Structure 1
Amino acid sequence: MSQTPSSPAPARHPVDQVLPPGRLGILGLQHVLVMYTGCVTVPLVFGSAAKLDTSTIGLLINADLLVAGLITLIQALGIGKLLGVRLPVVAGATFTAVTPMILIAGEYGMQAVYGSMIAAGVFGLLVAVPFSRAVRFFPPLVSGSVITVIGLSLIGVAAGLIAGLDPTAKDYAAPSHLALAGGIILLIIVVSRFTRGFFAQIGVLLGLVAGTLVAVPMGLTDFSSVGQADWLGVSSPFHFGAPQFPVAAVISMCVVMLVTFTESTADMLAVGEMTDRPLSKGDVARGLAADGVSGILGGIMNGFLDTVFAQNVGLVGMTKVRSRYVAAVAGGILLLLGLVPKLGEIVASLPEPVIGAAGLVMFATVTAVGIKTLRTVEFEGTNNLLVVAVSIGIGMLPVVAPSIYHAFPTWFQIIGGSAITSATLAAFLLNLLFNHTGGRGGSATAEPVSAAEVATSGPT
């Protein structure tokens, strides 16, 4: 009897493909360069507001990068069936936690800041699975609206890096700075238009390198701090002493963890759509659990809560590189930067207009991905256009008017003051109202089901 020829092994999904070492290294470095400034800004802002000395802030930056690198590795590679979404995502410190951390530091001290962070991390691990079951309520109508707001809300960050944050400063929006940023954007466009393959994928990195070289004769670079930085250094666990757990501080940070979950969920769903790998409830739960671990590690190592960075979501959309091992390399580089402050100073010394120009392209790419997602939504005969309009409007309020909620309680400012969180809540609740409840104008089948929603029927 003749044997039936064995069928060929199924091809690996692009997310699981391991690229050649050289490409992995360069593409991973590109991911680090586009998120580094946003990642280290959190400890800089918090350290200044908490009136910490320069050396202590440096320790916080090292711890921040160390934890971000570990969480990125966990997200990209996974740990069994417990942790990690196993997508090309990069984790970094979230700005959501900065305001409550400052308030806690002023009221209870630094030991309470990191004690409440540990408690929030444990809370995150406990609620990751229940929270992930809400994924079926994040169809393209919701995820598309939120992704659009994520991109739009970050464009202001890019503008601040290019022009500066002080309109009264002598060099604010200097024509030379704008010209430098414009030249970088033009270079990225030219590389994307006229090159193929690997060079097209590193357009942002080429823009960063070329922009930095041009910035040198313009006097915009200062690498003096590199020589002063240590080769090795990391903050010791519980640098500020034994953690403390005031009830009010713990509750506040647990709310921050839930807000962080909404941000990470939207970003993970976006990457799932970009990479053609729909996420199951189990995938989302493992990704959120990694956020919870960041709280525990951050509390122990004097770091910060981490979330999936939208900058890197935009980079995935731009480069079309779907391998999660690129993100793993980025995690390894972040880990190295956290252990070797001298390397971190080199990256930190890149001129802000250069970083801002690259960021503008990537943040706008995130917006375009959101618009593309919304194209799959059924608008005729439904109230979905109203859901999108109100969600984007509510999400952009704190962007165009940052102090709009200043008279409200702190807990409300934490939620309403985040463009991503307020847009997520608005889109989520309005989708429930119009598409998951009976009555006038409501229809549970008013829009097509997303790939991510279909995947939620799989095992966890």
Structure 2
Amino acid sequence: MSNPELNTNTVFDPQEQPVWEENPRIVKPILGIEDKPKTWWESLLYGWQHTLVDISPFVLPLLVATAAGLGPEEGAAWVNRGLFAMGIATLIMTTFGNKLPIIQGPSATVTGALTSVASIYGLQALWGAIFVGAIVEFLVGVSKVLGVLRKIFPVIVSGIVVISIGFSLGRTAVGWMVGDGSITNFILAAAVIICIYILQFATKNIAGGIISRGSIFFSIWIVGVGLAGIMGQVDWSIVASKPWFAFPGFFPYGGPGFGWKFVGGAIIGVLVGYLGSMVESIGDYAATCAVSGEIYKVKHMNKGIAAEGIGCLIASIFGGIPCTSYTQNIGIIATTKIASRFVVKVSACILMLYGLSPKFGALLVAIPRSVIGAVFVIVCGSIAMSGIQLVGSAKPTTANSYIVGTTLMLAIGLPVYCQYVVGDWTATLSPLLRLFLTNTVVIAVIVGIILNLLLNVAFKGEQEEVEE
């Protein structure tokens, strides 16, 4: 029986080729990538829901600003600029990039490099390095060199990477949920998880299922603002201290030719962060396709990385730190089954409004971290399950079993050992070596690719089926 997709002319376009020979459709969404909600308020609900799980834009810019020796007021301005840049970068990705429903935001991987560069070389060299890194990332995308990953990044490796993303974020989620170990944190965390479950499964036939699909949105407000407010856990002073409107401005620390410095050491340090970010993004694209019922194609990698480069370039103009794809929002799609690109564009507009109205955006900061952390636990679980299903769609060979087991053990265990057991030794290594030893996703990509090339390609292990 012929496959209609194979009869089209586009099959001969390398950019339209599937990344994998397998075609796993992990999740059939309620709303596909090209679909739109029936009403404007549904679009607003689903779009707003995406922005409520993004706490990183409030944390990561502050880390870099602090490393640069800036005070709280300037750090708050960095948050506003980052939110505005997030919205622009997301619109670029969903409109001109790979057109997958992916939120863009400050990269934790890049941030690790930025903090070191900011403390050593200063702000002018930092922004010069960010600018160069953005151009390099854009050139990597438009060069279409990522198409070669079609052979070394099969579905088994992609599944491992997605699982690693879920566990990596999940470790952070549990940390936020537990916090200082107070009973209040556990009460709020349990309340928001129970609330999500009730709204997700008990309201499917109420209001056309809208409440069910917006379960995360409603639960965060009910528990994170309502119950937490009653318990005195919401810091309303953060909201009261912010102005209603503030435009981020342009080139707050100079620009190319009028203030920025291009220092070799700073550029190399930041490029290490960009490298890790690109590796994570390739895995994120795979995860997004998996939860959106989309075939993962070569164009998604090339156009996505090119769009991220442009997004980082524009972010630097507004004084926002570099942006990358946000995995937690992929978990939202997996949980709600709303994969609409239009909804993510609505999210982008809301993020820009956050950047223009600091008081409105401060609401997210006021919500207790234990609430956001508990939501993350569910979201990260959905991501990990998508990865497990991807792995399950690969050939059931002994070689693939070894690849999955060995890679996951190293990706999950090695960072814990290097950070908490021999942390002092790890701190003496170069940023590049620290990235390879402490970043779960980077380890999963490197080890997974190497083992796949060794066991499946060199030793032809994929030809041997596991005995039943």
Are 2:62 and 1:30 aligned?
A: no
Q: How does 1:247-326 map to 2 (within 5 A)?
A: 247-326=264-343
Is the 8 Å Cα contact of residues 51 and 351 (structure 2) preserved in structure 1?
Answer: yes
CA deviation vs aligned residue, 1:259-304 (integer Å, no higher than 9, x gap): 1111111011111121121132122211111211132123222211
Are 2:162 and 1:147 aligned?
A: yes
Are 2:128 and 1:97 aligned?
A: no
1:249/1:131 Cα in 2 relative to 1: closer, same or farther (>3 Å)? farther
Counterpart Cα distance in 2 of 1:271 and 1:99? 25
Counterpart Cα distance in 1 of 2:122 and 2:249? 18
CA deviation vs aligned residue, 1:378-437 (integer Å, no higher than 9, x gap): 233x31111111211221135423254334222211333211111111112211222223
**Where does residue 217 of structure 2 map in the other structure?**
205
Is the 8 Å Cα contact of residues 67 and 116 (structure 2) preserved in structure 1?
Answer: no
**Where does residue 363 of structure 1 map in the other structure?**
380
Is the 8 Å Cα contact of residues 338 and 344 (structure 1) preserved in structure 2?
Answer: yes
- Among residues 211, 233, 250, which one is paired with 1:237 in the alignment? 250
- What's the CA shift for 1:443? 4.1
Percent of pairs with identical residues? 26
- Among residues 391, 408, 413, which one is paired with 1:397 in the alignment? 413
Are 2:445 and 1:430 aligned?
A: no
Counterpart Cα distance in 2 of 1:75 and 1:270? 16
Is the 8 Å Cα contact of residues 267 and 310 (structure 1) preserved in structure 2?
Answer: yes
- Among residues 66, 69, 84, which one is paired with 2:87 in the alignment? 69
TM-score (norm 1): 0.87
1:446/1:426 Cα in 2 relative to 1: closer, same or farther (>3 Å)? farther
**Where does residue 196 of structure 2 map in the other structure?**
188
Unaligned segments of structure 1, at least 5 residues? 1-11, 165-171, 448-460
1:133/1:325 Cα in 2 relative to 1: closer, same or farther (>3 Å)? farther
Is the 8 Å Cα contact of residues 101 and 339 (structure 2) preserved in structure 1?
Answer: yes
Counterpart Cα distance in 2 of 1:222 and 1:398? 37
SS of the residue 1:314 aligns to: helix
- Among residues 417, 427, 439, which one is paired with 2:438 in the alignment? 417
CA deviation vs aligned residue, 1:161-216 (integer Å, no higher than 9, x gap): 1221xxxxxxx212232022112111211222222222211111121011121111
- What's the CA shift for 1:121? 0.5
Size of the aligned set, in residue pairs, is 419
Is the 8 Å Cα contact of residues 130 and 316 (structure 2) preserved in structure 1?
Answer: yes
What RMSD in Å do the two structures reach over aligned CA positions? 1.9
SS of the residue 2:230 aligns to: coil
Instruction: Output the amino acid matched with 1:410.
Output: P
Q: How does 1:336-347 map to 2 (within 5 A)?
A: 336-347=353-364
Counterpart Cα distance in 1 of 2:127 and 2:105? 17
SS of the residue 2:70 aligns to: coil
Counterpart Cα distance in 2 of 1:188 and 1:215? 16
Counterpart Cα distance in 2 of 1:257 and 1:102? 14
Counterpart Cα distance in 2 of 1:259 and 1:150? 13
Instruction: Output the amino acid matched with 1:273.
Output: A
Unaligned segments of structure 2, at least 5 residues? 1-29
- What's the CA shift for 1:358? 0.8
Is the 8 Å Cα contact of residues 31 and 339 (structure 2) preserved in structure 1?
Answer: no
Instruction: Output the amino acid matched with 2:260.
Output: P
Instruction: Output the amino acid matched with 1:159.
Output: V
SS of the residue 2:393 aligns to: coil
SS of the residue 1:34 aligns to: coil
- What's the CA shift for 1:335? 0.9
